[in-house]
């Protein structure tokens, strides 16, 4: 099992849908989060992409120099980038980071935003373009020369001269729930991602993508993107969840739901259907809470509970085939620590951090100027 975190390049705060508790998000803050991710034993972090985000490639390139181990999940955008340019950016980042790049393939689900960036194709045509893009990108990034003539791309002797560290190229991760997205994922990518739907729905999607991949003689692994609200007790966790939306008013929910309704993303629509804009019945499956999706697009659900319960719910996802969790929590710096402290000791993580020998921590603070604090018996 591996757990990644999230760099909030579109803002951060203590409460959703309000400036109350909002914080100034800038490079120093992202650097603190990245260094926490790096030290705490997360595999890496997702940097989102889109017009409400700072540019993920530029931010990742600066953060990489302040970190040692963490991997950066950064988007390539079919239709907005040339596959050759995207392959070159990936190779440069892969080399300067020592092989720490993960690629998120984002086709996009908001026609209004995409039109603003000059892309005017329908949902399924964007995925046809993605198919062509990934065919070319994989050739070029894999060190081959690409000659390709399709409906959208016409490439003559596309290549990179400086190779990737990771072979044949940095792994391709991908989130897209529509039928055509699943076909493209099965054909090209390494890790299929879903937003945090209830286990039964996730199991159905995994079965479908697996079937499609098998037909191509391929195997994929699977990841899920969720928020997590973990506290020492169940009641503290649920109080924290309710606190997160305490200042959200109905107008903010209405406005958000209207904006997401214009999207043609099947994944976004599946997220919306989990709550339909209503504050009632937000626990949509045991310990899975849809409150965040009332005002946030994309990842809209959180696992809520005490550490044993949350790790048990994660294990339920693991049992149906999920081996990667991309988590976040508000505010992202403090919650990274909380997740690592409360949850990591209970998880079968691939890469638990080794405690550096010169450090005694974690130990808390010296008591009475002479003693180490006592460990509580569980």
Residues that bind ligand FMN (CB under 6 A): 48-50, 75, 104, 106-109, 175-178, 181, 193-195, 225, 265-267, 298, 326
The least CB distance from residue 25 to ligand FMN, in Å, is: 16
**Residue 117 token pair:** 């960036």
Question: In the complex with ligand FMN, which residue's Cβ is closer, 201 or 309?
Answer: 201
The least CB distance from residue 195 to ligand FMN, in Å, is: 5
Question: In the complex with ligand FMN, which residue's Cβ is closer, 267 or 307?
Answer: 267
The least CB distance from residue 103 to ligand FMN, in Å, is: 12
Residue with tokens 């990034």: 141
The least CB distance from residue 89 to ligand FMN, in Å, is: 16
Question: In the complex with ligand FMN, which residue's Cβ is closer, 106 or 189?
Answer: 106
Question: In the complex with ligand FMN, which residue's Cβ is closer, 158 or 222?
Answer: 222
* DSSP code, position 295: T
Give residues with Cβ within 8 angstroms of 112, minimum separation 6.
Answer: 262
Give residues with Cβ within 8 angstroms of 82, minimum separation 6.
Answer: none
How many of the other CB atoms lie within 10 Å of CB of 206?
19
Q: Are 134 and 172 in contact (CB under 8 A)?
A: yes
* Residue nearest to ligand FMN according to CB distances in the complex: 175
Q: Is the dihedral of CA 263, 264, 270, 275 positive or negative?
A: positive
The least CB distance from residue 205 to ligand FMN, in Å, is: 10
DSSP state string for 99-159: S-EEEEE---S-HHHHHHTT----HHHHHHHHHHHHHHHHHHHTT--EEEE-SS-EEEEE-
Question: In the complex with ligand FMN, which residue's Cβ is closer, 195 or 306?
Answer: 195
């Amino acid at each position: 099992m591996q757990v990644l975190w999230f760099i909030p390049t579109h803002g951060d705060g203590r409460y959703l849908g309000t400036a109350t508790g909002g914080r100034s998000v800038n490079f120093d803050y992202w650097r603190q989060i990245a260094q926490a991710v790096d030290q705490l034993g997360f595999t890496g972090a997702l940097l989102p992409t889109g017009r409400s985000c700072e540019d993920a490639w530029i931010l990742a390139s600066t953060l990489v120099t302040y970190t040692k181990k963490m991997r950066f999940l950064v988007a390539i955008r079919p239709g907005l980038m040339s596959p050759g340019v995207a392959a070159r950016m990936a190779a440069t980042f892969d080399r300067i980071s020592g092989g720490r790049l993960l690629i998120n393939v984002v086709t996009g689900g908001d026609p209004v935003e995409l039109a603003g960036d000059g892309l005017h194709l329908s949902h399924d045509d964007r995925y046809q373009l993605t198919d062509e893009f990934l065919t070319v990108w994989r050739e070029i990034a894999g060190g081959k020369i690409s000659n390709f003539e399709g409906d959208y791309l016409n490439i003559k002797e596309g290549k990179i001269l400086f190779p990737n560290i990771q072979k044949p190229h940095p792994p391709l991760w991908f989130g897209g729930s529509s039928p055509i997205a699943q076909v493209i994922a099965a054909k090209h990518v390494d890790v299929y991602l879903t937003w945090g739907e209830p286990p039964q729905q996730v199991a159905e999607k995994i079965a479908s993508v697996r079937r499609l991949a098998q037909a191509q003689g391929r195997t994929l692994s699977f990841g899920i993107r969720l928020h997590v609200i973990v506290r020492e007790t169940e009641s503290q966790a649920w109080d924290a969840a309710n606190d997160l939306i305490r200042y959200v008013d109905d107008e903010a929910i209405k406005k958000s739901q209207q904006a997401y309704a214009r999207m043609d993303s099947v994944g976004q629509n599946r997220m919306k259907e989990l709550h339909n804009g209503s504050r009632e019945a937000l626990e949509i499956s045991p310990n899975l809470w849809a409150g965040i999706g009332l005002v946030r697009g994309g990842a809209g659900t959180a696992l809520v509970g005490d550490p044993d319960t949350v790790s048990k719910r994660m294990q339920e996802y693991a049992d149906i085939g999920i081996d990667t969790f991309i988590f976040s929590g508000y505010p992202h710096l403090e919650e990274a620590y909380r997740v690592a402290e409360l949850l990591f000791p209970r998880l079968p993580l691939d890469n638990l951090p080794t405690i550096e020998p010169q450090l005694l921590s974690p130990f808390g603070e010296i008591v009475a100027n002479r003693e180490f604090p006592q460990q509580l018996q569980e």
